[in-house]
Amino acid sequence: MDMPAPSLSILSRKARIVDRLLEVLPQDAVIHDENEVRAYECDALAAYRCPPLVAVLPRTTAEVAAVLRLCLAEGVPVVPRGAGTSLAGGALPTADCVILGVARMNDVLEVNYADRYIRVQAGRTNLAVTGAVEGDGFFYAPDPSSQLACAIAGNIAMNSGGAHCLKYGVTTNNLLGVTLVMMDGTVMEIGGPYMDAGGLDLLGVICGSEGQLGVVTEATLRILPKPEGARPVLIGFESSEVAGACVSDIIKAGVLPVAIEFMDGPCIKACEAFAKAGYPDCEALLIIEVEGAEEEIRHQLRLITDIARRHNPVEIREAADEAQAKRIWLGRKSAFGAMGQINDYMCLDGTIPVSSLPHVLRRIGELSREYGLDVANVFHAGDGNMHPLILYDANLPGDQEKCEALGADILKLCVEVGGCLTGEHGVGIEKRDLMGVQYAPADLEAQLRVKDVFDPKWLLNPAKVFPLQVTASRRAG
């Protein structure tokens, strides 16, 4: 994965840049020691690392504005960072950049139950947003699997999803407003505690812009009343095709579960070996969760299991109590850990139309054999967001490159059937060079023009999202 060569001019000005940062930030908010900046050398895409020039940890919007103004004046690239949990390299530094971390900005600013919103500083973790309101029966809906650690700032940058977005939507559907600091230090309030934009939907384009348009320091988020209850059912099938057909029939029947999770044979076996959740030995497994009061849950589960029975399931397992519900989720929730035990793995994130599921799974199987690398599939079946896990050996020379090539082929397959490169992890550096597969030059140019408007000097997270050769002339300017 190429990154732009660092600017020698910036590297040579490090002392001066640090001094200027110390003029606008407290001493403990500027990290410039060569060893200490290593803490910021990578995010959760840990295969790629590069210590930044400096890392700053401001505590207020005014401090963020001061840092950005200064970086603009010095021509220094800025890489915004939430909690550093990006799986796509969204927070990967370059040697000549300032990492702007919002982790110290984690206060709750306002909770309003009558109007159902919460306003927080953007460094607050996803789970701590729900934590602030759950005692009163509310929650924040998007639930990425990193929710214990990931920050709202990063959720907004990547438009994060989660297991329950089939019903509740992703970040963009639950975001009401942001305080946005532009690269020139201008502070803007976009949106707020009301439901729609007065003019252009700027909030809509800021969400998911991977930290390239501005730095979000505060967010107004929609909170929802917690459902009365929730319960999963586990259904095993003889083949992925049959499981896929069952998902389609459930959706057509008008049942809208909060989650439909899918695991294929290799994934089931690995999870079973690791977590011993007692999953049936089969080729495909669905975990479907429904919500509501007891009687509503029973009714929806009856509809779902009636449909499933028409597809000759290997097993249908309903949870009789909380402990059994936990066991059903246990294997799925430990899927990534289980894979990590077996091997190094790369987690993909393409989305496909649900109808092409059987075809895509068959092709992934063929590609896996061609490359000689095992692939386990686990994904959000209701919305077609796949997470194929490619197993490889990082210590074996050439294996990582082979794994990346297989990953690229699988993502191209997703686009070929009408899907996309990334459903919830973001492009970052990981899928940057594949953007041309999904978008024609004019499509990309339109997106680049949006960045030109927000960040004319291309200093915010400049080496991400778009192929480097496409952005070269802009980054140079």
Partner 1 sequence: MRPETETELCEIIRGAAGPLAVRGGGTRGRAVAGAVLETGGISGIRLYEPGALTLVAAAGTPLAEVEAALAAEGQRLAFEVPDLRAVLGRAGVSTLGGVVAENAAGPRRVQVGACRDFCLGVQFVDGRGDLIRNGGRVMKNVTGYDLVKLLAGSRGQLGVLTEVALKVLPRPETEATLCLPGLSDAQAVAAMAAALGSPYDVTGAAHLPGQGTFLRVEGFEGSVCYRAGQLAAVLRGFGVAEEVAGPWAAIRDVAALVDVPGDLWRLSVRPSDAPGLVARMGAEAVVYDWGGGLIWARLAPGCDLRARLGDFVGHATCLGGGDAQAEPAPEPAPVAALAARLRAAFDPRGIFAGAV
Asked if 403 and 66 count as a contact pair (C-beta separation under 8 A), the reply is: no
Instruction: Considering only residues 161 through 180, tell me which ones interact with partner 1, judged by CB under 8 A.
Output: 161, 165-166, 169-170, 172-173
Single out the segment in contact with partner 1 by CB under 8 A; choices: 14-22, 27-35, 226-234, 398-406. 226-234
Work out how close the CB of 426 gets to partner 1 at its nearest, in angstroms, rounded to a whole number.
Answer: 5
Work out how close the CB of 369 gets to partner 1 at its nearest, in angstroms, rounded to a whole number.
Answer: 26
In the set 249, 315, 344, 399, which binds partner 1 (CB under 8 A)? 249
Single out the segment in contact with partner 1 by CB under 8 A; choices: 102-110, 111-119, 312-320, 323-331. 111-119
In the set 99, 251, 284, 410, which binds partner 1 (CB under 8 A)? 251
Instruction: Considering only residues 293 through 312, tell me which ones interact with partner 1, judged by CB under 8 A.
Output: 293, 295-296, 299-300
Work out how close the CB of 449 gets to partner 1 at its nearest, in angstroms, rounded to a whole number.
Answer: 4
Q: Is 353 helix (H, G, I), strand (E, B) or coil?
A: coil
In the set 192, 265, 280, 467, which binds partner 1 (CB under 8 A)? 192
Nearest C-alpha neighbor of 100 from the set 140, 73, 60: 60
Which lies closer to partner 1 via its Cβ, residue 75 or residue 353? 353
Question: Is 12 one of the binding residues for partner 1 (CB under 8 A)?
Answer: no
Asked if 26 and 11 count as a contact pair (C-beta separation under 8 A), the reply is: no
Instruction: Considering only residues 21 through 60, tell me which ones interact with partner 1, judged by CB under 8 A.
Output: none
In the set 5, 34, 35, 198, which binds partner 1 (CB under 8 A)? 198
Angle between helices 240-252 and 357-371 (to 10 degrees): 150
DSSP code for 420: B
Within 10 angstroms of residue 391's Cβ, the number of other Cβ atoms is 20
Question: Is 91 one of the binding residues for partner 1 (CB under 8 A)?
Answer: no
At 147, list the tokens: 């929710």
At 144, list the tokens: 């990425």
Question: Is 446 one of the binding residues for partner 1 (CB under 8 A)?
Answer: yes
Single out the segment in contact with partner 1 by CB under 8 A; choices: 73-81, 251-259, 361-369, 399-407. 251-259
Give the whole-angstrom CA distance, residue 367 versus residue 365. Answer: 6
Work out how close the CB of 135 gets to partner 1 at its nearest, in angstroms, rounded to a whole number.
Answer: 14
SS3 content of the chain, % helix, strand, coil (to 5): 40, 20, 40
Which lies closer to partner 1 via its Cβ, residue 265 or residue 292? 292
Work out how close the CB of 405 gets to partner 1 at its nearest, in angstroms, rounded to a whole number.
Answer: 20
Question: Is 5 one of the binding residues for partner 1 (CB under 8 A)?
Answer: no
One symbol per residue from 206 to 225: x for binding partner 1 (CB under 8 A), - otherwise; what is it? -xxx---------------x
Nearest C-alpha neighbor of 241 from the set 345, 377, 111, 368: 377
Which lies closer to partner 1 via its Cβ, residue 59 or residue 425? 425
Instruction: Considering only residues 374 through 403, tell me which ones interact with partner 1, judged by CB under 8 A.
Output: 380, 383-385
Give the whole-angstrom CA distance, residue 441 versus residue 421. Answer: 16
Alpha helix ranges (H) inside 417-455: 435-438, 441-454
Which lies closer to partner 1 via its Cβ, residue 268 or residue 414? 414
> How distant, in Å, are the alpha carbons of 94, 147, 290 from that of 151?
21, 8, 27
Which lies closer to partner 1 via its Cβ, residue 157 or residue 277? 157
Alpha helix ranges (H) inside 221-293: 240-252, 265-275
Give the whole-angstrom CA distance, residue 87 versus residue 18. Answer: 29
Which lies closer to partner 1 via its Cβ, residue 21 or residue 307? 307
Beta strands 344-347 and 385-392: pairing type?
A: antiparallel
DSSP code for 151: B
Asked if 427 and 158 count as a contact pair (C-beta separation under 8 A), the reply is: no
Asked if 352 and 360 count as a contact pair (C-beta separation under 8 A), the reply is: yes
Question: Is 202 one of the binding residues for partner 1 (CB under 8 A)?
Answer: yes
Instruction: Considering only residues 414 through 443, tell me which ones interact with partner 1, judged by CB under 8 A.
Output: 418-427, 431, 435, 438-440, 442-443
Instruction: Considering only residues 456 through 475, tell me which ones interact with partner 1, judged by CB under 8 A.
Output: 465-466
Residue 34 burial (C-beta neighbours within 10 Å; 0-12, 13-18, 19+)? exposed
Q: Residue written as tokens 């930290």?
A: 211
- How many CA atoms lie less than 13 Å away from 218 in the CB half-sphere? 22
> How distant, in Å, are the alpha carbons of 63, 116, 214, 304, 460 from that of 209?
22, 26, 9, 37, 11
Give the whole-angstrom CA distance, residue 169 versus residue 154. Answer: 17
Question: Which amino acid is residue 59, in one-letter code?
Answer: R
Number of residues near partner 1 (by CB under 8 A) = 94
Work out how close the CB of 15 gets to partner 1 at its nearest, in angstroms, rounded to a whole number.
Answer: 34
Which lies closer to partner 1 via its Cβ, residue 73 or residue 450? 450
In the set 195, 320, 323, 476, which binds partner 1 (CB under 8 A)? 195
Question: Is 196 one of the binding residues for partner 1 (CB under 8 A)?
Answer: yes
Question: Is 453 one of the binding residues for partner 1 (CB under 8 A)?
Answer: yes
Which lies closer to partner 1 via its Cβ, residue 188 or residue 394? 188
Instruction: Considering only residues 130 through 159, tell me which ones interact with partner 1, judged by CB under 8 A.
Output: 137-138, 158-159
